[in-house]
Structure formats: structure tokens, C-alpha cells
Structure 1
């Protein structure tokens, strides 16, 4: 990582309590401002963008075993700094990042004389803040709750997915961040579960303002948090995990040694959705926790389970999908659940050798549990304890497996976050990449843990198999995730199904409502450095050559990502660059045909290949030239999409 320069603007701390009665920190361009206030011993902050309030006075503070840091506070000075850092994200939506921000660190003491620092970092599009706790003679602290909140104007609307109750879902495996979205509802609308909402949550502030709220920097030193159900007037407070999460195992509070730096809460702010899509704040304010043991290779993967399901876990089908990956020039095959019982370890090792002879590497599915859910799929009890995990990983390394997809976690407790960290750390020691399913939101993990690649943490493509209602909303969901879940971290959605039904046999299973062009667009709209595609061997015979050719070319990692157009729930268009090649993707989330006008000044006058909707939801292709003014209009059918590429 390149060096981080801290240029102190004020040396030392301001000694007077009055200095923090109201103090402001602005972004480098002056457009984004945070005002921190201390009134009657309680802290609040406001956020404005170009002088317009986007967050009304909102509470700050912690309740701890050291006493309250939410009331009875006294100011003890402050300092400011300028931050300027360049770093590389080898597996992200953007490769080279330049983070410039202004920082305010405000120091307070509570009634017992212990110290709280509130740290704000403000860039031109993001606000990030965290707490640092320290004590004079105390070594440990328990965080019992937070006063932290986000108070939105009453006219704002929310786009958020609710948290599940512990123990809900298949085999008591929830919460696993796999619930539905409330779309454009008034702030103050409560969750159907009564458990609040998961990060990230998107808010529309009037006609020309957006705020995405999320969390980053969560490690084994803290728990993952969420937004509690709001007050009627739009105050969303931070909530710690529910006691029943993780099968009831572990505390719902947080225990740590001092000094403690909490996770960062982030707000990405924009007049349009471009800052939301393009933000890197989730990785800007964190640092790697260890060096990579080797270079981890992103790539595309075949995956038999999505369409062919559990019966495909046999040697002939897995060899067929290895051959498919080889024919496509893709890097991986994911061998999913039940491989231990159906194939056995000796046969699995033979499959790995066969794949490598075809220049294809193998990723393997694992069950995380332990005692925190009842999911029966094997292999079980290999990831939950250090001796079992390290022995298993040593064997995996010896036979040439390159990565794991670990499933069924069910919670955000500190003990669960520690399990993620332990799996990642041991995985790095054995040269293994990690993807998590049935899992929490990754919070800056693609930078903190260099072998972390992706996570589900959302209603992903597997739900197409389980729910016709979800399949009916596939196009609409594609216009929500780029502005919410996928904006803050890689999303292992598992795109691309070209079968007309979600089943190996034609006509069986749930019906696909989207077009072939939409499915191709999903490979660009969803960002994940390991992309598990639902392509099947039949598709090579069924699809025209231009479809297969596109799928051979589409990358899994990107050097740049740009927002072009869209509104969550209605439509979306994004541009992503890999090297010197641009890929543009769009989809239509509404039940009406539409024209989507794009501005592509970076492609002005250039001739591109367009794959677009054709009759009977098939795909067609033609060459198009972007106007000299950079303007281009796409026609999107119901359930449709389009891709443009050079």
C-alpha cells in the first residue's frame, strides 16, 4: 500500500470546552459539511450538501461498562488533519483509488474520566465516522448499546432490506441478509420483521439528493450492527445483534480491550446516484490486516447447482461443467454442496486433477456449522474449529483447490465475525480465496483481508429456483442492487441463466421472465471478482455465436466503474472499464417498454457492438456508433436489457 500522509492543520488539542460547542469539518471541495455539537453533555451531528440539510441533528455516543458516553460528556479538545492516500484494489469495481479527505478528531471525557474520541472523515462524496475509547486504568470494556443514529428529513424516502428474526428460514439459518426490499417508502416505515434493517440502506432526500448509509471496518474486535426500526419522524438508530443470532451462541454485546476503535459508519451523498455507485469509502477508511500469502486470481466460474441442482453432484455432470469452463476460457468451476458424500475425497482429488489438465481450477462449497444451524449439507464441521479447519485446508492445498465458498452463518455477533476472520486468516495461510454465503454484509473486507473475494448477503440468484415471485421480480431487483448492496461490496449474486426455466429439464421449475439480453447485462451489472455463472452445457448449442463470444470476453474485475442512468426499482445503466475496454450494461425494472437516454462522452464517436432485446425474449446484435456529443439511446423491453462493448 502506498503511504498515507497526515498533514496536521491544528497542532495539539483545543483546550476549551466551548471549542466543541459547535464545530464543523468540510470536504476538500467544500460541498459536504459535518457539524458536530455538544449540548447538555450530549453529542449530535448534522450533515449538509451544498448547503442543504441531508441529515438533521442526529445522536452520537455509546453505552458501556465504563459508563455512558452518550450523556454527561465534557469536551477535551480536538485536532484536524488532511488525508491523502493512494492504494490499489486488485479485485474491486475500481483498481486505483485516490482518497482525499479532511478529518476532525474531537475528544471528550465522561463522568468517570474515561475518554471518547469521535473521528469524522469527510471526502467530496463521503462521510465516515468512528469512535475510539480509552481509559486511564481499565483494560477491558463491554459495549452494551449505541446512541448513534441517522435522522433524515421527514420528506425523505427509504430503499432498505429488513433484518430477519433469529432462527427463521430454512433449517433455522437466518438472519443471513436474504430478505426483501422496501422501495421508496416514507422514512419512519417500520420493518415487517420488527428487527429493523440491514446495511446498506439508501435514502432519497427530495428531488435531487441521495444518501447511502452503511458500515465498514468490522473485524473480530466488534459485532456487525444494523439499523433499528425508525421513529415515526425518521430517526434510525444503530442496533447491536439480536440475542438469538448464531443459534443463541455468544453474547449480543461487544467485549474488547482498550483502546478500541469501533467500525466506521458511512454516508455517501450525492445530488444524483453517481457518488453512490462509484464510492470507495468502504475501503478508503480501512487497512489490510495481513499481507496476501500469494497473488489471488479473480475469474469466472461454471456452477452446475444453480440450474441442475443437487442431482448434478456426480462425476459425469461435474466433468461436463469442467469441460464447459474450458470451452469458455473461464478460470474456475465451483463444486457445490454434497460433494463429500456423493463423490468422496479420492474422487474429488481426481476431479481437481482433471480440471487442472483442462486449465481450470476448482472452488469448493463448505457448510460453516458448528451448532448454530441445522443445515445438513456436507461437508460439515470442517470450518468451525481451528484444528479441523487447518487440517482441511492443508489437504485442500495439497490437491490444488484454489478457493472455498462457505455457507450458513446466521448472525452478526462478535463471535460470528471472529469466525469469518479466522476462516479468512487460515485460508490465506493455505493460499485459499474465500466467498461467503448465507452471510453478513462484508464491511471493507476486500481490503482488510486480501484473500476475501465476495459474499452473498442479499437475495441472490438461488432464489430464482425457490420462488416464482422472486423470479417475477428479477428485472426489478437488478435495478435496486447496484445502488444498495453492490455499491458497498462485491456481491456474489450468481448471474446469467439462459435456460427458459430454472431447471435442467425444459418446462420444469420456475419460469424465467427476463430476456437473454437482460441476462447478458447482469454479468456486468453485478460486480464480483469471482463470478459464478449459471451457464449450462446445453447453452453452447442453443445460443447464437455472438452470445457465447460475449460471455468469453466479459471480465470479472474492473479498473473503473461509472453510473450512467437509473432509479432504483425502475431502471439502471452502468459502465465498467477493464484495461482499455468499456462494457456498458442496462436493464429495465418496470412493466413497460422504455427508451433510456445515455450520456457517454468517454465513448463519443466510437463504434460499439450492441446486444439488445429481440422478439420472444431472444437476443440480437448490431453495430452502433455513439454520437459526437456522446449521446446514445437504448430501447429496453419489459424484462429486458442491453450490453454495449468495444
Structure 2
């Protein structure tokens, strides 16, 4: 007969508790969002609930370095709680004045080698941000982070809204990946993509709410990452760059000095899409990396290349677009690829002086480098090395150039993140603002780099010119961007076409499938501090005056952004405020007329201007009265849109 003592039973339960223990917890200031940390069988895990509903089930934490493994055999050491509160201003993001308050938690674990890994959490209302910190490992003051096991385990009812990573070294002149894929929407959990999915990723947890995943704070000290599926259907994981990027050159991990910190992983959660659209978490947890060398200005730009293409890179055509910018009151003209060959540096000086006489600033296009891909357009090899870059930027400053659009980057490896930062930092020394094209997602860069002026990182307007399939899906993609890509960072789309046909002649081919009101609405829906609008010289005579007046007055800087209504890929209605003026814009991606009663407290009891379409898709402007409750009935035509403004 076996006798079991009370002491043995007690030891059994104590052992079980130590193997399966919740070690820390933290809630948002309003108490609705709660995060728990667990230490189980040598692993660190976390879960997240919102208003009592589990939104992320127990999910793995940890990373692996070339010196030591921080993904297993972990022991909980201690934790520390605190609070963070700050206010900041930034005119380049969706909200110019931000107050940020969060509860903080730092949890420390030791691994089998007795080395320490800390995980710092900041939990604000509707948001979680966290990052890892690795301490020195004996005499090791440097390490390479080879992989990360950070995961997100979703409830089974979740569906996904994700954009696949592009296959490295494919596409035009082997310039991929450049975050220019479409989206798979309302897709089953675990649906695989060959190369994973880009950040940000949106997830719909059935009736319980929405989750947006992204990362922020990526600079030259780390690689950028993305999402990937795992062998477990409900579990997604942080993945580092594919080795084939940059033509196979460079590490896919991150070389860090110790103590060293990773970028922030961010999670935004809400029971509606409002917190998703309005979140500022990508900017809340980062700080400026250097002081601006001057006060940078932003605004609207004309752009010949989008419809007139390469042949327009000549002195005469660019003069026409300088005149167009002047007549529209736009601050800039973008002179695109091949200007170095077709105009030349000497004549460019004269062109810039002509633009200056018209009160128009000049932005010039540059190829980022020649080593990572085969893009042939010039200027080439001026941005990829410090010596050449500084020589070129000194010349640019001397002749009065205001900024650069730098194109064709090689991927998400750390060496490419270093190139982004080097270009930005050097450009600041010479008073130049920078826009990135053919590029990765910006990750907090609006705050980190004062002269940063936006990125493409989206299936943008140029593909509307080149692809009938993309033209047919224009409304569908536009109804996604405010909820996914554009909510985490500035998006230089280069759209708002007033041409019925996307050609220089405005006839015969490339017919647009969206209405004029839709196009005007995207000028509000898509946010970027410098936006290249696709208004053409012919629009001065063939577009209605109310459309031209709207395109003259529309700002590119916003003081406030408010979600009104919508569903990703179906329709989207967003309000933005510039100073005292509100703009409300909506689009409809579905095949039927969308009839809605929308709540607009900013317009309650007021008469406002409405641009909308009739049943034939013709655009017009009129005045409408919003009732005292702020309610207004609107109809949005298929592939149509509307704009309201006071």
C-alpha cells in the first residue's frame, strides 16, 4: 500500500504552479485592456483581453541570438511597474497634438546561460507596445539577433486582412519587395503566403472586435520585420527579412550593441474600427533622433510622370507643370526620373530659378542605389555612398532644391534600414526633406526624422496607369488603406485623377472606373504631408471649377482624424480637420448604392458643402443642412464617393 503524505501533495501543487504561473499583469489607464504575462515550462507567454473578452490567447515571447537562446529554458526574475505620460506635437501625422498616457511593465527573465532578457510593455487605452532588451552576456558587448519567436495567437473565429510580401528580386528590374501587393480580405486564419505578410496586419475577431498589428521605432540599429504563418493555424509570428533580399547580400538578422533594444511591436485593439483608424501608437513610443536643421514645410505637388511618363522629363514640359503648380497654388513640383539625362544639371539650375519666380519649390527624383537591383533610371549611385551623397546634396542645396524622392530600395535588412537613415540624416544637414518610393513601410519615422516627408509602400497610383486589373480594384483598395496601411504611417499615393482616361491625351485607353467624387474623396482619405496629386494641365479647362477649387484648397496637413463609418474593402468614411475646417470623405467599393445615416457632430446644425455623384456617376456640388443632432443621410454610388466641408 502506497502512502502519500500531505507534504508530497503540497510539493506537487507547488511544482505545478511554478511551471504554469502567471507572473505579472498590467491594464490600460481606463481598465478596458488587460495584458497577462506567464512563465510556463521555461517559456515566456502573454495574452491580451479587451472588456473581458480574450483577443489574443497565450502567445510566445522571446528571441534567439548567436550568443544565447532567449526562447526556452527561461526563468522569471522580477517585474517593475510604472507610468508614462507625455504630450507632443507633429504636423505630419493624423493628429497634430497628442497626449499619451500608458501604464508600463518591465518583466525580466534569465535563460539557461544565466543571461538576462527584459521585455518592456506600455499599455495605453486600446494599445499595447512592447520591445525586448538584452543585457551584456559576460564579456560579450555585441550580438546578432537571428530570429524572434514573438507570436500572436488569435481566437478561432478571427479573419484576416493581409497583404503578402513580394518575392525578393522580382518585378520591375528586380526591385521587389517594395510593399506594393494587394490584399487578401476576410480570409481564414492560417492562410499561407509564400513570403509572409507585410506589416501592418488587420484581424477581425468576429463580434468581439478588431486587432491591428505593426511595428515602430525601426532605425539603422535593427532590421525591419513582417508577419508569417506557423504550423499552428491560429498563431502568427514575427519574421525577419528573407535572405534573398538585396540580391542575397547582408544578414537577415540584426547586429546589436549590448545592452540593446529591439523595435517596438504594437497591438491596437477595439470593439470597433474607431481605435484602429485613430491610433497614434506608432508615434507615441518613439522620439526624434536629431534636431531639424531648419523649419521644414510640406504641401501639395504637381507631377508630370504619372500620366505623361518618361517623355515628359524635359525642360518644356516641366515648365508647364511649374506653371500648373503656380496656378493651383501648390507648393511643389516633382521632377521625376531621367531628369539628369534629359534636362541636365546646368539647365536644371535655370529651371529651379524659373520655379522660384513662380513661388514653386522643386523636388527631384533619385535612384537609391545600383547594387541591390537593376533599376536603370538616373540619377544613379548618388544616394548609396556617404561621399557621393554629400557631394550631391551640397549641389542640391546650392541650387535651391527643396527635397528628394528616393526610389528603389532593396528590402528590409538592417543594411537597408541604415541606408534609409543615412539618407535622411545627411539630407537634414543640407536642409532637404525626403520622400521614399519603392520602399518599406515607415515605422515611426514621421517623429524620428524631422525631414521625413512620407513613403509610398502601397499599391499606388502608378499601377492605376499600368494595370487594368488595378484600375478595376481601385475602390476596393482605397476602402482598405484608411484601416490598414495609412493608419500606421504617411502614405504618398500620388493620386486624385481628374482625367477620365489615365493618359496624357485624356482619351482612348486606360479608362478610369471610379467617379470624380471618388477621386476628390481620396485626397482626404489618404494622408501624407507632401502629396503628389495627379491634376494635369488640361484639367484647368476640362474639369469643373468646383473640382479645381477643391483641389486648390485641400490641405495635406491635418490636426485631427476621426473615424465615421466603414468596413475594410467595402466602404470608408473618415473626417479630418485642418485648423478650423473639417472635411468628411467617403467612398463605396461595393456594386450597390450605399445608403447611410452618418453622425457628424462637427457639423451639427450647420449648412455645409457636399460634392457627390448622381446615379449616372456625374459629380456636382451643392449645400446641405446637417440636423441639430449631427445626422445626415448620404448615398454613395458604386465606385463613387462624396466630400463634405464647412
Both proteins in one fold, TM over 0.5:
yes
Distance 1:615 1:431 in 2: 49
Give 1:419's aligned residue.
419
Give 1:404's aligned residue.
404
Give 1:344's aligned residue.
344
Give 2:588's aligned residue.
588
Poorly superposed stretches of 4+, deviation over 2 Å: 16-22, 229-233, 506-509, 614-618
Please, what TM-score do these two structures have when normalized by structure 1? 0.96
Greater CA drift, 605-614 or 499-508: 499-508
Instruction: Using the TM superposition, give the Cα deviation of residue 231 of structure 1 relative to its aligned residue in structure 2, in angstroms.
Output: 3.6
**SS in structure 2 opposite 1:24?**
strand
* Cα deviation digits, residues 538-574 of structure 1 (max 9, x gap): 0010111111111111100000000000000110000
1:53 corresponds to 2:85: no
Give 1:99's aligned residue.
100
Matches within 5 A, 1:36-435: 36-135=37-136, 136-191=138-193, 194-435=194-435
**SS in structure 1 opposite 2:504?**
coil
Distance 2:634 2:134 in 1: 53
Structure 2: tracts of 5 or more residues without a match: 1-16
Distance 1:188 1:493 in 2: 30
Distance 2:306 2:185 in 1: 27
Partners of 1:187 and 1:232 within 8 A in 2: no
Partners of 1:20 and 1:75 within 8 A in 2: no
Partners of 1:189 and 1:230 within 8 A in 2: no
* Cα deviation digits, residues 184-243 of structure 1 (max 9, x gap): 10111112xx11100000000012400000000001111000111344522111111111
Instruction: Using the TM superposition, give the Cα deviation of residue 111 of structure 1 relative to its aligned residue in structure 2, in angstroms.
Output: 1.4
Structure 1: tracts of 5 or more residues without a match: 1-15
Distance 2:18 2:96 in 1: 43
Partners of 1:37 and 1:44 within 8 A in 2: yes
Instruction: Using the TM superposition, give the Cα deviation of residue 370 of structure 1 relative to its aligned residue in structure 2, in angstroms.
Output: 2.7
Give 2:501's aligned residue.
501
Give 2:558's aligned residue.
558
Please, what TM-score do these two structures have when normalized by structure 2? 0.96
Instruction: Using the TM superposition, give the Cα deviation of residue 180 of structure 1 relative to its aligned residue in structure 2, in angstroms.
Output: 1.3
Instruction: Using the TM superposition, give the Cα deviation of residue 258 of structure 1 relative to its aligned residue in structure 2, in angstroms.
Output: 0.4
Distance 2:41 2:442 in 1: 37
Distance 1:596 1:323 in 2: 41
Greater CA drift, 113-122 or 379-388: 113-122
**SS in structure 2 opposite 1:25?**
strand
Distance 2:98 2:395 in 1: 37
**SS in structure 2 opposite 1:537?**
coil
**SS in structure 1 opposite 2:229?**
coil
Instruction: Using the TM superposition, give the Cα deviation of residue 328 of structure 1 relative to its aligned residue in structure 2, in angstroms.
Output: 0.7
Partners of 2:313 and 2:343 within 8 A in 1: yes
Gap change, CA 1:284 and 1:418, over 3 Å in 2: same
Distance 2:409 2:446 in 1: 19
Count of aligned pairs: 629
Distance 2:289 2:186 in 1: 38
Distance 1:20 1:494 in 2: 52
Give 1:573's aligned residue.
573
Distance 1:187 1:231 in 2: 12
Instruction: Using the TM superposition, give the Cα deviation of residue 412 of structure 1 relative to its aligned residue in structure 2, in angstroms.
Output: 0.2
Matches within 5 A, 1:610-629: 610-614=610-614, 616-629=616-629
Partners of 1:514 and 1:640 within 8 A in 2: yes
Structure possessing the higher radius of gyration over alpha carbons: 2
**SS in structure 1 opposite 2:147?**
strand
Distance 1:208 1:33 in 2: 15
* Cα deviation digits, residues 7-65 of structure 1 (max 9, x gap): xxxxxxxxx98997431100000000111101111011001000101101110000112
Instruction: Using the TM superposition, give the Cα deviation of residue 616 of structure 1 relative to its aligned residue in structure 2, in angstroms.
Output: 4.6
Instruction: Using the TM superposition, give the Cα deviation of residue 410 of structure 1 relative to its aligned residue in structure 2, in angstroms.
Output: 2.5
Partners of 2:182 and 2:477 within 8 A in 1: no
* Cα deviation digits, residues 281-307 of structure 1 (max 9, x gap): 001011111011111101000000111
Distance 1:38 1:208 in 2: 27
